């Protein structure tokens, strides 16, 4: 289609909604950690931060307009809290920087802000605490300074701030807030502070300002939408505001924003395509600024330029002011593909030729904004990436993925096969990844330690971990996972259809980065993965040793996944590979197999409309992985969060025999939810908060176990920590496990 015939079309603009801010070589990570450990001062940190910002602007300068204010020392929601003066009093320190890190990380005087998942991503933000007492005050310093940095380079710049609606919807009530108070109640007050922020930016020379309102990509009540309308009617009086979503369609918020008179909207045309049709049905003015998010900010595949150009053209039919952009901030993808092109350590060319990281995505945006630019359609998935055997097997399987016997029957068979006392004690899988283990892994990776030596080292560790658990008197042992670099990457490295990047780092929170594997093709298992480790551990003890696998949903959630077929189909392929692993573990004599799904909640769609379908495929893939097990093989699962909300029914649908969950911080509140969901099998509510270095006392854990017994009955409770122990030190693990075993014995004696 010719995009300009018959249309008074302005020149296409180009921009991005945000950019990775950790540095192409994770420079900010190193600078932060050096500062936190006291090895460098604030000036050194600021110098490193300035260098990262300069690199960001260098990259972004290929665009017509660059977003500014998208750098962050730790988290953009915390930055917003600073910008509106909403730091909690307990985090106020001598300097702004010290206050900032007190809020982010806590210190001797105060616990940090809570951290939680950013929509359906693996990024974690800090949750602002807002109460009726919170005094908002505009602090435009960062926003203005970063805007000026870009302008001084002669760049056309658009300041970006988290919008007031999302800021409050992402916040939680402060500790002293009265019952029934919601942070959103403070919208009117907060908007006046945004008026000041926008005014300050205007004085600094800013034209258009981008307010990020990702919370409008979630379902909102009519009351909330009415408040959104009122807030934006006020803001458009002081500045030209473009509102960005980034995490799906605006849906019913779209007409509300446009009616309020915003200058424009940034649409996620990758996940929120419904907005395109909705916009066409609305009568928008040709002056409306439409940012076309056609380049996926969430995944690493090259854009289909033909399809993207067609979407852009549709928007140009509606408006004379259209910009090509990323669908969300590019925060969720690694900075640069270049390290992956390295022949020795990188990815194969057939794969890299299909990938675009943040820098490459900027080039795609620029190309789409150029009328003479390329318009290549995405090439078909190579035949070599398809595995006919996997596809035939899946097709033949049909819908049935249920265990061979219902839970009550399995329960009896399992008790007969592995007799256990009431309140059996166990751990979640990993034991401390000590400095020596990490050193051995690094040496092995760099080729300085041969395979045989590395294996021997890991086996020795397994033997120690088994001996330690026996000495502690734990009932169900684990091998400790010393051989695993990461619970997803380890499996990805051994399954076909996956690749691991050399340097594809993505910020998870603060200075913490992850390197998600790339799931590019059909998935199959070529050989048993975990059997030798589990069997070896079992050979050392008469106590049962749990097999330990990562579930299909978590493997998908923590990878970059092919987007040429539904996630459900990809999940089933992973599930089949795990199903074979379960069969092999079972054949080797393993009686208990744990399949971890800590990310079950993470992929839950932001809007309710998609959730039933998600729950159906996610739980089916788990059952597909586990239902081949004999009735007398116990399937355990582990979910490491305590707010189940929309996934509570899904937990029952996993049909596991034992589910361990995080519970210690929420004081076992989660048990009531499980009851409501008619979850009937056994539960291991964590009694030890492993996120803290504190050693829990026996009494405290016994009290938690009593609560669990009261809620679930004496036959359904396991005693275990909240999560794996890999981040803890043996100095904490040993005494904590002594106390845990003692707590279980104490409560057992009372039954």
Q: Which is nearer to ligand GLN, 355 or 639 (CB)?
A: 639
Q: Report 581-600 residues binding ligand GLN (CB under 6 A).
A: 596, 598
Q: Which does 429 bind (CB under 5 to 8 A by kind): Zn ion, ligand GLN, none?
A: ligand GLN
Among 70, 241, 292, 723, binds Zn ion (CB under 5 A): 723
Task: Rule CB under 6 A: say whether 726 interacts with ligand GLN.
Answer: yes
Task: Rule CB under 6 A: say whether 81 interacts with ligand GLN.
Answer: no
Stretch that binds Zn ion, among 79-87, 264-272, 496-504, 640-648 (CB under 5 A): 640-648
Q: Which is nearer to ligand GLN, 355 or 437 (CB)?
A: 437
Residues 6+ away with beta carbon under 8 Å from 103 = 78, 81, 87, 88, 91, 112, 113, 126
- What's the closest the beta carbon of residue 550 comes to ligand GLN, in angstroms? 8
Beta bridge partners of 593: 547, 635
Q: Site for ligand GLN (CB under 6 A): how many residues?
A: 13
Task: Rule CB under 6 A: say whether 663 interacts with ligand GLN.
Answer: no
Task: Rule CB under 5 A: say whether 284 interacts with Zn ion.
Answer: no
Q: Which does 552 bind (CB under 5 to 8 A by kind): Zn ion, ligand GLN, none?
A: none
The DSSP code sequence of 594-609 is: EEE-TTTTTTS-SSGG
d(CA 713, CA 711): 6
Residues 6+ away with beta carbon under 8 Å from 652 = 677, 678, 679, 680
DSSP reduced 3-state for 497: strand
The residue with tokens 């829990």 is 696
Q: Report 195-214 residues binding Zn ion (CB under 5 A).
A: none
d(CA 522, CA 569): 10
Task: Give 750: exposed, middle or buried? Use CB within 10 Å, 0-12, 13-18, 19+.
Answer: exposed
Task: Rule CB under 6 A: say whether 640 interacts with ligand GLN.
Answer: yes
Among 144, 428, 661, 682, binds ligand GLN (CB under 6 A): 428
With both helix axes pointing from N to C terminus, report the angle between 222-235 and 187-203 in degrees, rounded to the nearest 10: 30
Q: Which is nearer to ligand GLN, 481 or 655 (CB)?
A: 481
Minimal CB distance residue for Zn ion:
640
Our answer to whether residue 455 is catalytic in this structure is: no
- What's the closest the beta carbon of residue 333 comes to ligand GLN, in angstroms? 23
DSSP 173: E
Q: Which is nearer to ligand GLN, 172 or 691 (CB)?
A: 691
Task: Rule CB under 6 A: say whether 430 interacts with ligand GLN.
Answer: yes
Q: Which is nearer to Zn ion, 183 or 598 (CB)?
A: 598
Q: Which is nearer to ligand GLN, 193 or 640 (CB)?
A: 640
Binding site members for 5-methyltetrahydropteroyltri-L-glutamate = 29, 122, 512-513, 558
Q: How far is CA 30 from CA 6, 48, 100, 248, 391, in A?
A: 54, 9, 18, 33, 45
Binding site members for L-homocysteine = 428-430, 596
Residues 6+ away with beta carbon under 8 Å from 376 = 305, 306
Q: Report 541-580 residues binding ligand GLN (CB under 6 A).
A: 548
Task: Rule CB under 6 A: say whether 686 interacts with ligand GLN.
Answer: no
Alpha carbon 347 to its chain centroid, in Å, reads 24
Q: Site for Zn ion (CB under 5 A): how many residues?
A: 3
Q: Which does 635 bind (CB under 5 to 8 A by kind): ligand GLN, Zn ion, none?
A: none
- What's the closest the beta carbon of residue 45 comes to ligand GLN, in angstroms? 30
Beta bridge partners of 67: 158
Residue environment code for 476-489, b if the CB has 16+ CB neighbours within 10 A, otherwise e? bbbbbbbbbebbbb
- What's the closest the beta carbon of residue 567 comes to ligand GLN, in angstroms? 20
Binding site members = 29, 122, 428-430, 481, 512-513, 558, 596, 638, 640, 662, 723
- What's the closest the beta carbon of residue 481 comes to ligand GLN, in angstroms? 6
Q: Which helix (H) or strand (E) holds 67?
A: strand 66-68
Q: Which does 91 bind (CB under 5 to 8 A by kind): Zn ion, ligand GLN, none?
A: none
Q: Which is nearer to ligand GLN, 21 or 726 (CB)?
A: 726
Q: Which is nearer to ligand GLN, 334 or 724 (CB)?
A: 724
Task: Rule CB under 5 A: say whether 631 interacts with Zn ion.
Answer: no
Instruction: Output the 3-class SS for 277-293.
Output: HHHHHCCCCCCCEEEEE
Interface map 460-489 toward ligand GLN (x if CB under 6 A) = ---------------------x-----x--
Binding site members for L-methionine = 428-430, 481, 596
Q: Report 309-338 residues binding ligand GLN (CB under 6 A).
A: none
- What's the closest the beta carbon of residue 427 comes to ligand GLN, in angstroms? 7
The sheet with strand 546-550 has its strands ordered as 546-550, 592-596, 634-639, 658-661, 682-685
CA dihedral 510, 515, 521, 526 (to 10 degrees): -130
Q: Which is nearer to ligand GLN, 319 or 660 (CB)?
A: 660
Best CA proximity match to 701, nearest among 719, 674, 724: 719
Q: Which does 430 bind (CB under 5 to 8 A by kind): Zn ion, ligand GLN, none?
A: ligand GLN
- Return the number of other C-beta atoms located less than 10 Å from residue 219's C-beta: 13
Question: For the chain, how many helices (H) and strands (E)?
Answer: 26, 22
Q: Which does 487 bind (CB under 5 to 8 A by kind): ligand GLN, Zn ion, none?
A: ligand GLN
DSSP 632: T
Binding site members for Zn(2+) = 638, 640, 662, 723
Task: Rule CB under 6 A: say whether 638 interacts with ligand GLN.
Answer: yes
d(CA 228, CA 222): 10
Q: Which is nearer to Zn ion, 213 or 596 (CB)?
A: 596
Q: Which is nearer to ligand GLN, 32 or 658 (CB)?
A: 658
Task: Rule CB under 5 A: say whether 598 interacts with Zn ion.
Answer: yes
> Which of 76, 124, 444, 691 is the catalytic position?
691
Residues 733 and 432 sit within 8 Å (Cβ to Cβ) = yes
Task: Rule CB under 6 A: say whether 723 interacts with ligand GLN.
Answer: yes
- What's the closest the beta carbon of residue 44 comes to ligand GLN, in angstroms? 34
What sign does the CA torsion over 692, 698, 700, 701 have? positive
Q: Which does 548 bind (CB under 5 to 8 A by kind): Zn ion, ligand GLN, none?
A: ligand GLN
Q: How far is CA 552 from CA 578, 596, 627, in A?
A: 8, 9, 13
d(CA 67, CA 680): 51
Beta bridge partners of 290: 265, 322
Stretch that binds ligand GLN, among 152-160, 248-256, 670-678, 718-726 (CB under 6 A): 718-726
- What's the closest the beta carbon of residue 643 comes to ligand GLN, in angstroms? 15
Task: Rule CB under 5 A: say whether 640 interacts with Zn ion.
Answer: yes
d(CA 103, CA 112): 5
Residues 269 and 254 sit within 8 Å (Cβ to Cβ) = no
- What's the closest the beta carbon of residue 290 comes to Zn ion, in angstroms? 42
d(CA 182, CA 201): 29
- What's the closest the beta carbon of residue 727 comes to Zn ion, in angstroms? 11
Residue environment code for 329-345, b if the CB has 16+ CB neighbours within 10 A, otherwise e? bbbbbbbbbebbeeeee
- Return the number of other C-beta atoms located less than 10 Å from residue 228's C-beta: 25
654: left (phi over 0), alpha (psi -120 to 50) or beta: alpha
> In 376-434, which residue ranges form alpha helices assigned H by DSSP?
388-397, 407-417
Q: Which does 555 bind (CB under 5 to 8 A by kind): ligand GLN, Zn ion, none?
A: none
Residues 6+ away with beta carbon under 8 Å from 180 = none
Stretch that binds ligand GLN, among 199-207, 426-434, 564-572, 729-737 (CB under 6 A): 426-434
The total number of residues written for the chain in this structure? 751
- What's the closest the beta carbon of residue 531 comes to ligand GLN, in angstroms? 16
For binding to Zn ion (CB under 5 A), which residues are involved?
598, 640, 723
Binding site for ligand GLN (CB under 6 A): 428-430, 481, 487, 548, 596, 598, 638, 640, 723-724, 726
Q: Give the residue numbers annotated as catalytic, written as ranges.
A: 691
């Amino acid at each position: 289609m010719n995009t300009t015939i018959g249309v008074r079309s302005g020149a296409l603009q180009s921009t991005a909604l945000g950019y990775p801010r950790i540095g192409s070589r994770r420079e900010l990570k190193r600078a932060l950690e050096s500062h936190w450990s006291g090895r460098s001062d604030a000036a050194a940190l600021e110098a490193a931060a300035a260098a990262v910002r300069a690199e960001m602007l260098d990259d972004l300068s290929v665009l017509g307009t660059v977003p500014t204010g998208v750098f962050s020392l730790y988290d953009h929601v915390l930055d917003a809290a600073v910008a509106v003066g909403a730091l909690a009093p307990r985090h106020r320190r001598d300097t702004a920087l010290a206050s900032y890190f007190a809020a982010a990380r806590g210190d001797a005087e105060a616990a940090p802000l809570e951290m939680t998942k950013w929509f359906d991503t693996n990024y974690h933000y800090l949750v602002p605490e807002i109460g009726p007492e919170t005094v908002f005050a505009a602090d435009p310093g960062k926003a203005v300074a970063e805007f000026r940095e870009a302008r001084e380079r002669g760049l056309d710049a658009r300041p970006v701030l988290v919008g007031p609606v999302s800021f409050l919807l992402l916040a939680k009530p402060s500790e002293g807030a009265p019952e029934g108070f919601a942070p959103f109640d403070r919208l009117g007050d907060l908007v006046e502070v945004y008026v000041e922020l926008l005014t300050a930016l205007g004085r600094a020379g800013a034209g258009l300002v981008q307010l990020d309102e990702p919370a409008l990509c979630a379902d909102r009540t009519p009351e909330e939408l009415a408040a959104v309308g009122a807030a934006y009617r006020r803001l458009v009086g002081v500045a030209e505001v473009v509102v960005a979503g980034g995490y799906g369609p605006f849906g019913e918020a779209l007409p509300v924003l446009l009616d309020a008179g915003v200058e424009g909207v940034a649409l996620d045309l990758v996940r929120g395509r419904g907005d395109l049709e909705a916009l066409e049905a609305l009568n928008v003015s040709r002056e409306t600024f439409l940012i076309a998010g056609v380049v996926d900010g969430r995944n690493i595949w090259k854009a289909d330029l033909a399809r993207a150009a067609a979407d852009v053209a549709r928007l140009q039919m509606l408006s004379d002011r259209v910009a090509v952009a990323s669908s969300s901030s590019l925060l969720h993808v690694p900075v640069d593909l270049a390290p992956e092109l390295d022949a020795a350590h990188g990815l194969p060319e057939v794969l890299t030729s299909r990938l675009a990281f943040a820098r490459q995505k900027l080039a795609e945006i620029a190309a789409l904004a150029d009328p003479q630019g390329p318009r290549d359609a995405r090439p078909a998935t190579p035949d070599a990436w398809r595995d006919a055997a996997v596809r035939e097997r899946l097709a033949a399987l049909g819908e049935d993925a249920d265990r061979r016997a219902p839970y009550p029957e399995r329960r009896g068979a399992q008790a007969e096969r592995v007799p256990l006392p009431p309140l059996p004690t166990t751990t979640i899988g990993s034991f401390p990844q000590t400095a020596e283990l990490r050193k051995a892994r690094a040496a092995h990776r760099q080729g300085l330690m041969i395979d045989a030596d590395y294996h021997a080292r890991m086996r020795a560790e397994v033997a120690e971990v088994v001996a330690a658990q026996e000495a502690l008197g734990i009932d169900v042992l684990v091998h400790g996972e010393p051989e695993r670099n990461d619970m997803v990457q380890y499996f990805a490295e051994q399954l076909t259809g996956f690749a691991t990047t050399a340097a594809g780092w993505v910020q998870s929170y603060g200075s913490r980065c992850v390197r998600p594997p790339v799931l590019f093709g059909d998935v199959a298992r070529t050989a048993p993965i975990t059997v030798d480790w589990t069997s070896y551990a079992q050979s050392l003890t008469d106590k049962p040793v749990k097999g330990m696998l990562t579930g299909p949903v978590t493997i998908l959630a923590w990878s970059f996944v092919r987007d040429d077929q539904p996630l459900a189909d990809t999940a089933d392929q992973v599930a089949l590979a795990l199903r074979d692993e379960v069969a092999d573990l079972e054949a080797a004599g393993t009686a208990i197999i744990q399949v971890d799904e800590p990310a079950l909640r993470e992929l839950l769609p932001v809007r309710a409309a998609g959730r039933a379908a998600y729950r159906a495929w996610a739980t089916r893939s788990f059952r597909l992985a586990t239902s081949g097990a004999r009735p007398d093989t116990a399937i355990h699962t582990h979910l490491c969060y305590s707010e189940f909300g929309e996934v509570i029914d899904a937990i029952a649908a996993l049909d596991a025999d034992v589910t361990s969950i995080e519970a210690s911080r929420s004081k076992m509140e989660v048990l009531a939810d499980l009851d409501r969901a008619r979850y009937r099998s056994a539960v291991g509510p964590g009694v030890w908060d492993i996120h803290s270095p504190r050693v829990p006392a026996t009494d405290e854990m016994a009290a938690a176990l009593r609560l669990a017994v009261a809620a679930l009955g004496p036959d359904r409770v396991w005693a275990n920590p909240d999560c794996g122990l890999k981040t803890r030190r043996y100095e904490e693990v040993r005494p904590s496990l002594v106390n845990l075993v003692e707590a279980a014995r104490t409560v057992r004696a009372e039954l």
